[in-house]
Each structure stands twice: as C-alpha cells, then as structure tokens.
Chains A and B, each alone.
Chain A
Amino acid sequence: MSEASATVTDQSMISINRLNKWYGDFHVLRDIDLEVAKGERIVICGPSGSGKSTLIRCINHLERHQQGDITVGGVHMTNDIKRIEQIRRNVGMVFQHFNLFPHLTVLENCCLSPIWVQKKPRREAERTAMEYLERVRIANQAQKYPGQLSGGQQQRVAIARALCMHPEVMLFDEPTSALDPEMIKEVLDVMIELAREGMTMLCVTHEMGFAKTVADRVIFMDEGQIVESAPPQALFNNPQSPRTKEFLSQILGH
C-alpha cells in the first residue's frame, strides 16, 4: 500500500466533472465527479446496475454521455470523432467477454491496431506484440486462434492487445467475471504486475483481494452515484454509508 502511494503523482490523468447520462428516461449516471491522477489505481465496485461499467465506458466514449465534461490525458472529450479516436489511442480497454477477434491469430489481434492506427511497420508491431505476449506469459500461443485458447489465456491476450498501443490508462470492465475460478488468478497476477509498474488503472471488479493488494482507492457506486471513495483498508474496515456496509457484508460475508 505504502509502496503504491509513493508512485502517485499529482498530475491528473482523467478528470470527470458532473457527468450525467440517461438511457431513455433511466438516469444511469448522476453527477459523477472523479479525478484520477497519473499512475493511480482505482477499483470500482457496487451492485449490478449501479452504473460502474457505464462510467468507465464513457471514458473512451463507448457510451455517449449527455451532460458533464470528461478530459483524458489533457484531451477534452467532444462528439468530434477525431478527438474521440485520439483519446481511444491513449486508453486501453479489457472487456468481460475478452472480445478478441476470432478470425485473427493471437499475434494478429495484437498487431492490428499498431499497424492500422499507429501506422507502424509490421515487423516492429510484431516485435512489440511478442514482448507483451511474453509478459502475459502466452508468447508460445502467438500463432493460435482465440477459439483454441482457454478463457484465462484469452483474457491475458486481450490485456496484451490493449498494451500494444502503449496506452497511458487501462480500463478493466469486470475482467474476471466470465472466467472459471481456476483461471481468475492467472489474469489477476498479470493485472497486479501491471499495477506495480505504475500503469494508471480503472478497474470494475468484485475481486476484493485484488483491490486490497493494488488499489490506491476503492470507489463504491450505487444507483448511478459515487457513494463512497476511500483507500481499500478504510473502505473495507470502516465504511461510512449504510449502503456500502450492506454491499460489503454481502460480498465479503460468505
């Protein structure tokens, strides 16, 4: 914990101001304010339907918000597609269902964006991809198709694919929820490693062990609002809001 705080700087990476979003009449995000410093690691938890996924999907504009401001890495988000793509190049995302491209090999999955978005030569893109695949310990499967890998392996490939763009921020949307229990650890280990290297991370997850190990802050959301935000020890041991208490007792109680 102390080691983690030491790397946090005051430089703001993500700045969200009075963010509001509706799905039709349903008010899914309500007056969200969030500042994320460079190198900060944040875990977002909360009951299903509380808007946690929607919040991080707004950060790279997979969801469009109706009110409020989002600034990522100094770029203010508008509806201009050029700006959105500029932000997306700087933000990696890992999905619950991996979303690897099944018609491409693991290596091609990792090289696609560097080649087509960053216009890197194929050889250089492949070298970078192999380095990241090595780091997530799956380089020996580079020539296989995603359909031939286990869930845990696929999710590690997805992490490597996002890292190949050299993003400054990584968003994780319930990265272990679709995995068999014995595969959760291999993915969490990779994420912990990444956190230790100083990556700015926003992670929607219910893995409280992971939160305790790496998070600088845990955010509890309910009904579209940020109810509580505190370092993991404080939030878990001494929750302020009754709703946080109830939620924690449900997921930690058994």
Chain B
Amino acid sequence: MSSDMIAARPAPDQRHGIVGWLRANLFSGPINSIVTVVVLALLVRLLWPVLDWALIDADWVGSTRQACTGDGACWVFISVRLNQIVYGFYPEAMRWRVDIVFALFALLAIPRLPFKRIVGVFALIGFPVIAWVLLLGGVFGLTPVPTRQWGGLMLTLTIAAVGIVGSLPIGVLLALGRRSKMPLVKGASVVFIEFWRGVPLITVLFMASVMLPLFAPAGTEFDKLLRALIGIMLFWSAYMAEVVRSGLQAIPTGQGEAGAALGLSYWQRMGLIILPQALKLVIPGIVNTFIALFKDTSLVLIIGLFDLLAVIQSGLTDSAWLGFAIEGYVFAALVYWVFCFSMSRYSQYIERRLHTGH
C-alpha cells in the first residue's frame, strides 16, 4: 500500500491535428476508407454541376437579356430588378426612407450594444414609431406612400417584424391565461388558441381581405396590409402560446412558491421569476416559430400583396425576360435562407449568453 496521495495528471491527448482526425474518423480501416472515397466522389459528381451552373458558367454583368450568353445561370435577371425586389413599387425618390429604417434595424440587431435599457426601450417603442412614420409618411412634410405601393423585401421584413414583435407578447399572455385558475380567463384562452391553430393561415388571410370588408359597415375602409398583419399576428400568437406554455410547465412549482413566500405578487412572480426562466428554456421553440412565420409571410401574395416572392414571380412574366424562373426562385430561396439562418444563429448566441449553469 502506498502512503502518498496520487497526484493529478493531465488528461491524455486525444487528437493529433488534421491528419490524426482524418485517420480516426474517415480512414480508420479498409472498409471505412472505401466508403469515404466513394462518398467523396459522389459529392463531387453531384455538387460540381450545381457550382458550375451557379458560379462558374454564370453571367454576372450586364443590363439586358443579351448579356446572358453562358450556359449557366444569368444573374443579370436579378441585378436589373434588384431595386424592385428590395423596395417593391415604393417611389424611387423616397427610397431613402426605407434605407434609414433598414439601417436602424441592422443597428439594433447588433448584440451587446451599450446603454442596454435605453436601447431596449428605443427598440420596442421608438423604432416602430419611427419606422411607421418614415415608411407611411403623411406627417412632418413626408409625402404619403400608401401601403399598396409597398413591396419586395421591405414588405416581407415589415410583415415578419410586426408578426414577430406582436405574436410573442400576445402568446405569453395567452399561455398565462391558459394556466390561469380563473375559469373565464382560462376558457377564453383555450378557445382563442384552439380556434386560430385550427384554421390554415391561407383561410385567415382570405377572411381578412375578402370577408371582413363584407361585414364591416359601408364606407369604412381598412388598409389591406393592416388586416393581413392583424391576421398573421393573431394566428402565430396561438402557436407562440403553446410554445411558451411548454416552457411554463417545465419550471418547478417551488420557484413560484419561493416567490410567493417572499411576498411577490402574481405579476411580479411571472415577470421576474417564471417567465425569464421559461422563455429562456423555449428559445429554440420560439425561434422555430419565428422562422416558420418569416417563411409563411410569402402567403400574402394570394391576397395581392407584393412581398419578396411575389415581386420575383411577377418578374418572371416580363416578356423581355422569359425563362429565368430557376434564377428567380433560387435567389428567393437564398434570401429567405439567409434571414432564417441568421435568426437561428442569433438565437444560439442568445442561449449561450443567458446560460447560468443550471
């Protein structure tokens, strides 16, 4: 028997650079090596034509159809109508207003801005008001731009942002309502959630744009975009409610009891203890819903709003540019993907930042 304590030793080194990794994971034996080579060959075979079409054989510069000489994609189709894809039919002279809103949005999306509290209040109250004034105009000497002239990426982002910002708080209230001990509040929440989850978004949009004006008193006119926004917000808030409720259920009852024992009121317990933990827990679910919402904004084209996809689609019917559907749809997909992937990465970053080791 040894009388000395065993001293701590460093853990064994498990990886030896790229070669070591390759040997361990891809070429650990004859069968593995063959599989690796075959899969690599297949990947090259499949991906090469795509790269060839999209990048190598593609046409990039020009302003007319005559520039499309190669066998690959002709991105000139996109570049000549990029303005329309971004701004829709927003009057050219006033597009700086949209640019300012874009710039503010990008600025607020930067994580870890200083003056957290002021920036937060500005993002939630100041920014929407400024964006609304700038985009719509009609005050402070700004020429009014009716919403039927809005379109493209700018419209897509507007719908997505309003949907996201609106559906989360409504969803939280519905989730709390569904767990309420008051029968009336609980009943109303359940009915609301089950109704909106039970109808397809397309029906909601049709109802909002076709049915609602029929029931409204003659002479009153709601903005078509506003109706779509309200429909989308209520529709997604029902989904959000269930995501948030799953988070609420994961918080141990002891948390609420400890808050109650400290004399905190119901809303203080929810706002300071339960929701911060529950929402953090369901960030993946919330962002999942945000991403679905973002992509489903493309459904507004069926009620005649010209969002990103609708603008690109309308470009396909331009007689001077027939036959560029693949370029159009690939580009649309790419734009949607970039935004959705950014949201996904952003949420992972937030999750890491909020982690407190429990």
Contact = CB atoms under 8 A, between A and B. Distances in A.
B261 A60 contact: yes
B263 A113 contact: yes
Contacts of A89: 263
A94 B252 CA distance: 16
B357 A165 contact: no
Interface string A51-78: 0000000001010000000000000000
B64 interface: no
A62 B276 contact: no
B280 interface: yes
B40 interface: no
A88 B273 contact: no
Interface in B256-305: 257-265, 268, 272-273, 276-277, 280
B277 A103 contact: yes
Contacts of A99: 252, 254-255, 257-258
Interface in B99-152: none
A49 interface: no
A161 B358 contact: no
Interface string A97-131: 10111110000000011001100000000000000
Contacts of A81: 265
Contact of B261 (A62, A101, A145): A62
Interface in B147-167: none
A134 interface: no
Contact of B277 (A91, A97, A102): A102
Nearest to B274: A101
A80 to B, nearest CB: 13
B356 A161 contact: no
B356 A88 contact: no
Interface in B6-30: none
Interface in B180-217: none
A161 B255 CA distance: 14
A91 B261 contact: yes
Contact of A147 (B273, B276, B356): B356
A161 B262 CA distance: 9
A81 B263 CA distance: 10
A93 interface: yes
A46 interface: no
Contacts of B255: 99, 101
**Most B CB within 10 A of own CB, among A62, A91, A97, A99:** A99
A162 interface: yes
Given A145-B356, A147-B358, A97 B263 contact: no
A85 interface: yes
A224 interface: no
Contacts of A100: 258
Given A97-B254, A145-B357, A148-B357, A85 B273 contact: no
B358 A146 contact: yes
A100 B262 CA distance: 11
B180 to A, nearest CB: 14
A88 B266 CA distance: 13
A113 B261 CA distance: 10
A117 B264 CA distance: 6
B273 A101 contact: yes
Contacts of A102: 277, 356, 358
A95 interface: yes
A152 interface: no
A51 B20 CA distance: 63
A165 B259 CA distance: 12
Contacts of A39: none
A89 B262 CA distance: 6
A100 B254 CA distance: 9
A89 B261 CA distance: 8
A93 B357 CA distance: 25
Interface string A187-220: 0000000000000000000000000000000000
Given A102-B277, A116-B264, A145 B257 contact: no
Given A112-B272, A116-B272, A101 B264 contact: no
Interface of A: 60, 62, 81, 85, 88-89, 91-93, 95, 97, 99-103, 112-113, 116-117, 145-148, 161-162, 165
Given A112-B273, A161-B262, 14 more contacts: A62-B257, A62-B260, A88-B260, A92-B261, A93-B261, A99-B254, A99-B255, A99-B257, A101-B273, A101-B277, A102-B356, A113-B264, A117-B268, A165-B262
13 contacts: A85-B265, A88-B263, A89-B263, A95-B258, A99-B257, A101-B273, A101-B277, A102-B358, A103-B354, A112-B262, A113-B264, A116-B264, A162-B261
